[in-house]
Amino acid sequence: MDSRRIISLFHRCIFWCNAIKSARRKHRTAQRRIRNRYDHLSPWGYSCTDCTFYRFRRCYPLAIYRWDASASLLPAIISGVLIPLACYLSAKIWVTRFSKEGLRFETLFSYLLNVCLLPGLLLGSVKSLDILYGGYTGKGGYFYDLYEITSTYALGILLVAPFYYIWTRTEKPLSHLNKQNLSYIGAYLLITLGAFIFSPGLIFIAPVVPMILAFKGEELASLLGLLGMGLIVTAIAPYDLGPFNLPDKTEGHTALLTFVLVSMITPIAIGLHVRRLNVVSRSRDRWQTKAQTDQLTGLPNRYAFFPELTNHCEAADDANTDLVLAVIDIDHFKVVNDTHGHAVGDKVLLEIAEIMRDQMRESDFVARIGGEEFAILLPGATTQQAKRALDRLRQRCEHHKITLADTELTVTISIGATHYQLSESQDTLMERADTLLYQAKNTGRNRVVVQ
C-alpha cells in the first residue's frame, strides 16, 4: 500500500476529532468566565451579543458553544504539527512492518501497539502537556487527557484502517454486503442507538452482533457495523453519555472510550483468527487432495480409493444395495514401455484414464491404484449391468487409437469384476476381484470376467 495514501487516510480520520477536542478544551476557561458572568440571570435573560449559545450550553452541557478569537493559537499550531507527525509514524510503521504480509491474527497485538497506540501516545503526551500548560486541563487532570487523546487516535485508526485494508484486498467486496449482513448491521446500529436513547442495558447486547459476523467470516460486514457504531457514539456522546452517564463525568468518558475500544478490537481479533483458520483449512484440503490424487492422470490414487471403498461397503450394508468392484489392467503395458519408451507409456495411461472418466457414470468412482492398474466402484449396479458397462469400456479402449509421432498405437484392457457380498471384508472383495482379473488375462486378455 502506498504510504502517501495511508498518511492521507489516517490524517483525515484523526484530524477533525482532535481539532474539535482541542477547541473545546482551549476555551474552557472562557466558558467558565462567561457562565459565571450570567449565572445570576435567568437562563433566557441575557444578550445574544455577549453569549450567543449560552442557552444551548445549558441544555447540552458538553457541547461546543463559542469560538474565542482572542485565544492563543499555540495549541492549534501544536495540534496541526503533531497530528500529521503521528499519522506519518503510523503509516511508516505500517509500510515497514505490516505491508508485505498484511494484518494477521499473529501480528494484531504488534499492530495495535506500534501503529495505533505508540504514535497516539506520542501525540497525547505532548498535547496533554500543552493543555496542562495552557490551563485547559479538565477535572480528570493530565493523565485523563493523555488517555483520552491516545484512545481517540487509536479509535480513529481502528475505525477506518482495517476496513480500508480488507476492502481493497477483497474480491467483489460489495458481495459481502448482502441482505442478511445488512440486516445484522442495521440491528447492531439500532441496538447501539437504543442504548443511548431508550434503554442503557442494550449496550451490553450490541457487541454480540459484530462478533457473530466475525465468526461467520464476514469481516467487511463486521467492520462496517463497527464504523457505524463509532459514528453514532461520536455524534451522541458529546451531548449524552447514555449508558455511561455516571455521576463522575470523567469516569463516564473513560468507561465509554474503553468500551468502544474493546468492542472494536474483539471482533477484529475474531475475524482475523477465523481468516487464519480458513487459510489453514484450505491449505490442508489442497495438500490432502494433492496427496490423494495421481499426478499423471488426475484420478484418485490408492490412498483415496481404499477409504472410498470402505464408505461404499458401509453404505451398501446399511441400505442393502448392490455394489460392484472392477479391477482393470492394461494388457502388455510393459512391452509398450520397453518398445516406445516411458513417455509413450505415460500417454497411454493418460488417454485410458480419460476414456474411463468419459464412459463411466458420475456416481462411479474411478481410481488408479498401481502402475497400469485401475479400479472402479459401481454403486447400485447389478452384476449384469456392470458387465454391460465394463464391456462397453473395454470395446472403447480397444478401438481407441493413440497417435504417436510416426505411428498409431492401440492397447487393450482386461477386467475382473465381482459383486459385493454383504458384511464381507474389503480384503476378501479385493482378492476375489484380483483373481477374476488374472483369469481374464490367462484366458486371452482383452475381456471382462464378472462373478
Paired with 403 in beta bridges are: 408
Among residues 214, 215, 210, 220, the alpha carbon closest in space to that of 170 is found at 220
Indicate the Cα dihedral angle 387, 393, 396, 401, nearest 10°: -140
At 287, phi and psi to the nearest 5? -65, -35
For 209-243, b/e burial (b = at least 16 CB within 10 A) is: bbbbbbebbbbbbbbbbbbbbbebbbebbbeebbb
Q: Please calculate the CA angle 168-223-152 and round it to the nearest 5 degrees.
A: 105
The radius of gyration of the chain's CA atoms, rounded to the nearest angstrom, is: 37
Q: What gap in Å lies between CA 134 and CA 147, rounded to an integer?
A: 18
In the set 106, 219, 372, 373, the catalytic residue is 372
Which of 101, 228, 115, 109 has the alpha carbon at shortest distance from 163?
228
**How far apart are alpha carbons 414 and 424 in whole angstroms?**
25
Helix (H, G, I), strand (E, B) or coil at 444: coil
**170-196 b/e (C-beta count within 10 Å ≥ 16 → b):** eeeeeebeeeebeebbeebbebbbbbb
Q: Is 169 helix (H, G, I), strand (E, B) or coil?
A: coil
DSSP calls for 289-323:
HHHTB-TTT-SB-HHHHHHHHHHHHHHHHHHT--E
**Residues across the chain:** 451
**All cell numbers assigned to 92:** 511508516
Given the C-alpha cell 473395454, which residue does it identify? 394
Q: Is 372 a catalytic residue?
A: yes
**Mind telling me the catalytic residues?**
372
